């Protein structure tokens, strides 16, 4: 079911949604960032009223907190002075405003151990009583970051000196509300008026429990209670693909495609939507504005949504601009979106979108992590869904290979039909492609033999797979958070409890793109029809290479398993070449034959 933001009562509303959602199960130590690439700049229109801070703590002194734990062995929250102590590289250093002078920190990851071994980490950090008499409308704010793995995080608020508590869950053993990694920092805003407003014995408590798993950590900083201002608005979850509303009109799931072919735009134009929240006390008749500019800064589109009253009883809703945008020229476009109310406005958010001739992409083009696919424990399959809004022929997939991959490792791409009621349905698979040292940290294109026809109204999963091997391993880069339907199939690595062959969802977007460009069908296919004959393979020393290709000269290279070139020669397209391997160590080598139009590779086994 699609998530539609609408009414959240005055008792509880916050800057990021804290309710639970489905849990993408992924292995603890495969991680990457999830921060969405959204540029935020201050709006030049009506300014929001600044909040009056009533109480705050910058987490520089542990003596300001009452600590308690039932951890085995004992372990409490502490004040960590080093922002780089965050144990997840993509979330480190902690980027809260005052991280350099300390922050609250609890670290299950540092305890090691196993799951369910009787060594849980469970602890609380509690403020002294805070007097909010005379302040009926108050909000709790704090900055934090974490990575989830089976651990519970919550903030609790008491209005009666700790006799009763209201708990706001960040995560629990069943999952997390948005993504496995938070932003860095993640800034939370929770309306606590009904609990703490005009009370003289308010307390705030941060609770962590790893549920006896070898879990991760939680870092918390810059905690404050402030008066809710009269006039304030926020904008969150901006999209350009119709994720919130327009998917109902176009079909499919409404993903934000970072690159979209012109052919797909005809039936699925850009649709601009966002969540607006009244973060103040005063009612606001609110609407969303979207403005699109081209690379030269010319305004090509401007429209607004319908207006809706947001107040303390109905503080937020999803807004969709009334018309859609259908560019007719290739290139990159920028949409700026902002919300406007009677007495305030939001900051402006910007999204880029690229119209292409034949490339379909969901990633943000900047690697921020990687998934291990070809592993020693098994050959995983990593993929993501693409909705078709026009018939196409898929000629190949583009895959970004992480630079930790090993040259000579075999890689294949595979196509499935999406199956909403079960596992993806297998359609076709490429021949194996062997990585070269030049492929590491770069895009590669792997063709499907002859191409494969795709049909409008159908969803497909574009995927890349590998094999179990103790040495030949590779990783596929990820870029940006997943809106949904990004998958990994576990084939022997036990990344969750589903067993062999189980499909899990991931919170990151794999850098796997569809190519509708027929030119990717290069001479590799012809090589299978006798244009290149390599024999004997395996070999005891001598190797014959029969070429029968009318083309410009080729570069013939042989590399060892570490990617080091040990043989190179310029050869004619119609020739018989002989290579003597007798002086080389036994093992696996990669033979590559290439020119400006063609690239062929094959693994050679020297016995």
Q: Which of 218, 489, 259 is nearest to 357 (CA)?
A: 259
Rama region for 242: left / alpha / beta (φ>0; ψ in -120 to 50; rest): left
Side-chain-side CA neighbours of 461 within 13 Å: the count stands at: 27
Residues 298-314 have a mean pLDDT of 95
Residues 6+ apart with CB under 8 A from 298: none
DSSP string, 298-359: -EEEEEEB--EEE-SSS-EEEEEBSS-B---S-EEEEEEEEEE-SS-BPPEEEEEEEEESSE
Determine the average pLDDT of the residues in 535-550: 86
Is the pLDDT at 15 greater than 50? The verdict is no
Q: Is the backbone of residue 34 left (phi > 0), alpha (psi -120 to 50) or beta? A: alpha
Non-local (6+) Cβ contacts of 163 within 8 A are: none
**Alpha-carbon span 574 to 384, nearest angstrom:** 41
Contacts of 420 (CB under 8 A, 6+ apart): none
- Answer whether 501's CB lies under 8 Å from 490's CB: yes
Distance in angstroms between the alpha carbons of the first and the last residue of the chain:
56
pLDDT of 19 above 50: no
Question: At 28, is the pLDDT very low, low, confident or very high (cuts 50, 70, 90)?
Answer: very low
Tell me the mean pLDDT in the region 53-63: 97
What is the reported pLDDT for 20?
A: 24
pLDDT digits (tens, 9 = 90+) for 393-443: 999 999 999 999 999 899 999 999 999 999 999 999 998 998 988 899 999
Q: Is the pLDDT of residue 23 over 90?
A: no
Tell me the C-alpha distance between 155 and 202, whole Å.
13
Helix spans in 152-278 (H): 193-196, 247-250, 262-265
Residue 48 has pLDDT above 60, yes or no: no
* pLDDT of the residue at 408: 85
Determine the pLDDT at residue 571.
87
The helix or strand, by DSSP H or E, that contains position 589, with its residue range, turns out to be: strand 587-595
Average pLDDT over residues 126-144: 96
Q: How far apart are CA 550 and CA 548, in angstroms?
A: 7
Q: How far apart are CA 595 and CA 549, in angstroms?
A: 12
Rounded Cα distance between 305 and 180, Å, is 32
Residue 101: Cβ-neighbour burial (10 angstroms; 0-12, 13-18, 19+): middle
Tokens in use for 311?
């107040």
**Per-position DSSP letters for 271-292, written without gaps between them:** B-EEEEEE-SSS-EEEEEEEEE
**Structure confidence at residue 592 (pLDDT):** 84
In a 3-state reduction of DSSP, which class is residue 437?
A: helix
Q: In what order do the strands lie in the sheet with 233-239?
A: 233-239, 273-278, 316-320
> For 512-522, what is each residue's pLDDT tens digit?
999 999 877 65
In the chain, the percentage of residues whose pLDDT exceeds 90 is: 66
CA-CA distance, 552 to 596, in Å (whole number)?
A: 9
Q: Which of 544, 512, 570, 165 is nearest to 362 (CA)?
A: 512
The percent of residues in the chain predicted with pLDDT above 70, rounded, is 89
Instruction: Tell me: pLDDT of 523 over 70.
Output: no
Q: How far are the Cα atoms of 260, 277, 319, 334, 390 from residue 263, in angstroms, in the given order?
A: 8, 36, 27, 20, 6
d(CA 447, CA 428): 11
Question: CB of 405 within 8 A of CB of 435?
Answer: yes
**What residues form DSSP beta bridges with 305?**
321
Q: Which domains does the chain have, with CATH numbers?
A: 51-227 (2.60.120.200), 233-356 (2.60.40.10), 362-520 (2.60.120), 524-606 (2.60.40.3080)
For 256-285, what is the mean pLDDT?
A: 95
**The whole model's pTM is what?**
0.74
Q: State how far the alpha carbon of 197 is from the alpha carbons of 49, 77, 170, in Å.
A: 19, 28, 22
Q: Quote the CA–CA distance of 263 and 257 in Å, as a whole number.
A: 13
DSSP 477-534: EEEEE-SS-EEEEESSS--SSS-TTEEEE-SEEE-EEEE--GGGS-THHHIIIIIEEE
DSSP calls for 29-42:
T--B------EEE-
């Amino acid at each position: 079911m699609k998530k539609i933001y609408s009414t959240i009562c005055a008792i509880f509303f916050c800057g990021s949604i804290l309710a639970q959602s489905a849990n993408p199960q992924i292995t603890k130590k495969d991680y990457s960032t999830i921060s969405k690439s959204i540029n935020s700049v201050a709006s030049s229109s009506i300014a929001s009223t600044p909040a009056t801070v009533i109480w705050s703590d910058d987490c520089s002194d542990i003596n300001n907190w009452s600590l308690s734990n039932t951890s085995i062995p004992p372990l409490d929250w502490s004040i960590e002075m080093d922002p780089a102590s965050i144990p997840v590289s993509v979330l480190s250093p902690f980027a809260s405003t005052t991280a350099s002078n300390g922050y609250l920190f609890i670290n299950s990851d540092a305890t090691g151990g196993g799951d369910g071994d009787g060594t849980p980490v469970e602890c609380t950090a509690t403020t002294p009583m805070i007097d909010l008499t005379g302040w009926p409308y108050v909000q709790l704010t704090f900055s934090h970051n974490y990575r989830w793995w089976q651990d519970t995080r919550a903030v609790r608020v008491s209005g009666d000196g700790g006799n009763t508590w209201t708990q706001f869950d960040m995560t629990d053993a069943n999952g997390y509300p948005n993504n496995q990694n938070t932003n860095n920092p993640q800034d939370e805003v929770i309306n606590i008026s009904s609990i703490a407003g005009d009370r003289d014995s308010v307390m705030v408590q941060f609770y962590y429990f790893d549920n006896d798993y070898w879990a991760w950590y939680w870092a918390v900083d810059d905690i404050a209670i402030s008066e809710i201002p009269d006039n304030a608005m926020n904008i969150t979850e901006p999209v350009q693909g119709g994720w919130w509303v327009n998917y109902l009109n176009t079909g499919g799931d409404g993903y934000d495609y970072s690159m979209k072919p012109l052919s797909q735009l005809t039936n699925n134009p850009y649709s601009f939507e966002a969540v607006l929240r009244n973060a103040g006390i005063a009612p606001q008749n609110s609407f969303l504005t979207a403005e699109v500019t081209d690379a030269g800064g010319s305004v090509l589109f401007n429209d607004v949504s319908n207006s809706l009253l947001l107040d303390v009883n109905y503080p937020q809703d999803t807004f969709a601009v009334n018309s859609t945008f259908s560019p007719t020229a290739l290139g990159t476009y920028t949409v700026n979106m902002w919300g406007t109310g009677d007495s305030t406005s939001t900051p402006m958010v910007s999204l880029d979108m690229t119209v292409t001739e034949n490339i379909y992409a969901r990633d943000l083009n900047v690697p921020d992590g990687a998934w291990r696919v070809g592993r020693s424990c098994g050959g995983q399959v990593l993929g993501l869904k693409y909705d078709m809004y026009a018939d196409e022929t898929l000629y190949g997939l583009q895959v970004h290979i992480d630079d930790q991959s090993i040259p000579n490792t075999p890689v294949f791409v595979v196509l499935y039909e999406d199956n909403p009621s079960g596992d993806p349905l297998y359609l076709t698979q490429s021949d194996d492609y062997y990585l070269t040292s030049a492929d590491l940290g770069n895009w590669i294109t792997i063709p499907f033999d002859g191409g494969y026809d795709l049909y409008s109204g159908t969803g497909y999963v574009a995927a890349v797979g590998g094999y179990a091997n103790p040495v030949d391993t590779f990783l596929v880069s990820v870029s940006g958070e997943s809106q949904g339907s990004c998958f990994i199939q576990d084939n022997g690595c036990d990344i969750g409890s589903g067993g062999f062959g189980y499909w899990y969802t991931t919170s990151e977007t794999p850098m796997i793109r569809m190519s509708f460009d027929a030119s990717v069908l290069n001479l590799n296919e012809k090589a299978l029809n006798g244009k290149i004959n390599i024999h004997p393979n395996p070999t005891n020393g001598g190797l014959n290479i029969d070429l029968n290709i009318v083309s410009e000269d080729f570069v013939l290279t042989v590399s060892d398993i570490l990617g080091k070139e040990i043989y190179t020669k310029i050869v004619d397209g119609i020739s018989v070449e002989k290579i003597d391997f007798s002086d080389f160590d036994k093992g696996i080598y990669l033979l590559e034959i290439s020119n400006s139009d063609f690239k062929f590779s094959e693994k050679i086994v020297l016995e």
